[in-house]
Structure formats: structure tokens, C-alpha cells
């Protein structure tokens, strides 16, 4: 649901592909999460043409365009999508608001503005802030905490935080690497403390894009899959022990299709293998869920 995909032109909307998914979910009693309303990394969320057009707008016209996009998109799916990743990747590695077209045109308050616009368009939807590399304790996760704490204190309608949880396994303890450049080594204790401080603000906390790379591990495939199972289990078990933790979304389900292969090289990051058979990681996840 990125802007460039679903709203490719000022007067052009491409609802059909998402409508198919939403209708399927409705017919099978499945919940749908919208992803993503605003992606602060312009070159991911907007096409080159859209960036050029919007850069030429006045501040008022830009704000009106953003509001119309949000109200039209949420209005189209009102009552059909239970939660939205409202704002994606608004922070840089230092935990400050990253330079973006939205920051440039709308100013420091754009984050709050976007959540207010989303709430007005669909008051019943769960509204989430969503980012990568902020799963543990680091300058970026500190910035994320500071941002959402400010939003809560200012009574901005934010319901929770979505931690992407793109991980890589390593043979070096504590065996987990996250996408945080400032503190890539991730411990279970750090995950717990980070979730706890977010939940103490009254926010829901969830895993939003989980996968686990094993391509750089030593050992044969069974050994690597065994460690993958343990990490999947331990991370999810750790999250489930924290109050306020509510949801888990995996970024795909079969190794036959993953962004990891395209971005980093061949890997086996998900719960089902390329033949759609459950891997040890699947059983590690099930063990954690059934023990909760």
C-alpha cells in the first residue's frame, strides 16, 4: 500500500490488488494490517515523478495532498483493516528524524500531524509507528522511545510500536544481529527492556517484519537450522513474556520468496522451506507460542 503503488498519480488510485487481498481475508475471518501509510524514506514510498511534483508544492498544498491521500486510503478500507503501520522509518541511525520530503515540507510536527489525519479518517483503526533496527537498546531505539513518549504525552492518537525484527544469526554469542548500525549485537535482555519501556507508556508493542538470516553461519545446514530454531524461539518467547506485546508478523512465510535473497544473497530466513514444508524454525515458534 505504499503511495507509489496504490496512488501512482494525483488522480489515479490502484485499489484492485489490495481489494482482492482484503476480500479474501474478510471471507476467511482473517485480520488485515495496512502497510504502509507514509514511508518517510521518499525513494521507497514515492516514485521519482511524485517526489518531483510534491517538491514543487507550497507547504499548504503539500499538507493538503498528504491529508487527501490518507483520508482517501483509510476511507476506502474503513472497517476492513484493523491496524495500520501509519509511519514507517522516520528515524535515522542516531534516533533523530531523518531528512525527508515530509520533514522538509511539514516541519518537526509532521509525525503528530500524520497520526491525527489517520485517526480522523478511521477512528477505530489501531495506529502504529513502525521502524527497523530499534528492537533492542541503541541510540535509534532511544530516539524511537523519545518520539513515541512525546506523542503519548501530547495526546496524539498512537496505539503502538511495530518493531520490524529483521535479524541475522551469528556464531558469536549472543548469536543475534539486528539492522541497527549503532548497536547491532542484540540480546534478549535488551529486547525485554525495550518492549517494557514502550509498554509502560501504555502502547501496544509488536513484531512487524520478522525474518532471520543464516547464510553467514558456520556449519552444515542442519546445524544452521538448529540455531535458527533456537533464536526464533528465544526471541518470540522473550517478547511474549512482556505485557503489552500483542502481535507477530513474519516477513513472508516460505524461503521460496524473500526480499533477503534479492538484497543480501541466497538464504533460508523464514519458517517454511522452498517446498512449503515446515522447518525447525517453525517448531521453535510453535513451542514459544504454546508455552506462553
Q: Cell for 37?
A: 501509510
Distance from C-alpha of 52 to C-alpha of 56, rounded to nearest angstrom: 7
Active-site annotation holder among 68, 89, 96, 193:
89
Active-site annotation holder among 135, 154, 206, 209:
209
| Separation of CA 199 from chain center | 17
Q: Which helix (H) or strand (E) holds 84?
A: strand 83-88
Q: Cell for 267?
A: 538464504
The answer to whether the CB of 15 falls within 8 A of the CB of 76 is yes
The torsion defined by the Cα of 55, 56, 60 and 62, in degrees rounded to 10, comes to -40
DSSP for 227-290, please give it. HHHHHHHHHHHHHHTSTTEEEEEES-SBTTS-HHHHHH-S---SSB-TTSPBPHHHHHHHHHHH
Q: Cell for 222?
A: 542442519
Residue that has been written with the C-alpha cell 521507497 in this structure: 44
274 classed as catalytic: no
The answer to whether the CB of 18 falls within 8 A of the CB of 84 is no
Distance from C-alpha of 109 to C-alpha of 97, rounded to nearest angstrom: 10
Q: Using alpha carbons only, what angle is made at residue 132 by residues 130 and 137, rounded to the nearest 5 degrees?
A: 105
209 classed as catalytic: yes
Residue that has been written with the C-alpha cell 551469528 in this structure: 170
Q: Active-site residues: which are they?
A: 89, 209
Amino acid at each position: 500500500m505504499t503511495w507509489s503503488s496504490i496512488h501512482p498519480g494525483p488522480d489515479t488510485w490502484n485499489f484492485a490488488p489490495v481489494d482482492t487481498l482484503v476480500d479474501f481475508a474478510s471471507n476467511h475471518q482473517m485480520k488485515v494490517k495496512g502497510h504502509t501509510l507514509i514511508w518517510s524514506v521518499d525513494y521507497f514510498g514515492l516514485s521519482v515523478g511524485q517526489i518531483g511534483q510534491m517538491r514543487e508544492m507550497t507547504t499548504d498544498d503539500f499538507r493538503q495532498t498528504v491529508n487527501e491521500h490518507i483520508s482517501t486510503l483509510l476511507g476506502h478500507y474503513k472497517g476492513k483493516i484493523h491496524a495500520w503501520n501509519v509511519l514507517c522509518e522516520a528515524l535515522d541511525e542516531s534516533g533523530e528524524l531523518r531528512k525527508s520530503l515530509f520533514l522538509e515540507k511539514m516541519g518537526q510536527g509532521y509525525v503528530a500531524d500524520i497520526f491525527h489525519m489517520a485517526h480522523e479518517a478511521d477512528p477505530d483503526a489501531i495506529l502504529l509507528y513502525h521502524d527497523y533496527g530499534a528492537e533492542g537498546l541503541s541510540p535509534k531505539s532511544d530516539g524511537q522511545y523519545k518520539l513515541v513518549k512525546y506523542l503519548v504525552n501530547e495526546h496524539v492518537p498512537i496505539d503502538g510500536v511495530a518493531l520490524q525484527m529483521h535479524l541475522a544469526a551469528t556464531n558469536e554469542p549472543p548469536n543475534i544481529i539486528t539492522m541497527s548500525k549503532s548497536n547491532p549485537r542484540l540480546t534478549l535482555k535488551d529486547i525485554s527492556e525495550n518492549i517494557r519501556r514502550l509498554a509502560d507508556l501504555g502502547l501496544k508493542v509488536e513484531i512487524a517484519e520478522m525474518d532471520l538470516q543464516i547464510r553467514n553461519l558456520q556449519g552444515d545446514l542442519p546445524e544452521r537450522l538448529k540455531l535458527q530454531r533456537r533464536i526464533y524461539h528465544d526471541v518470540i518467547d522473550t517478547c511474549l513474556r512482556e505485557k503489552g506485546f500483542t502481535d507477530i508478523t513474519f516477513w513472508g512465510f516460505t524461503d521460496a520468496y524473500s526480499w533477503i535473497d534479492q538484497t543480501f544473497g541466497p538464504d533460508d530466513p523464514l519458517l517454511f522451506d522452498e517446498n512449503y514444508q515446515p522447518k525447525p524454525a517453525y517448531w521453535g515458534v510453535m513451542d514459544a507460542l504454546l508455552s506462553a
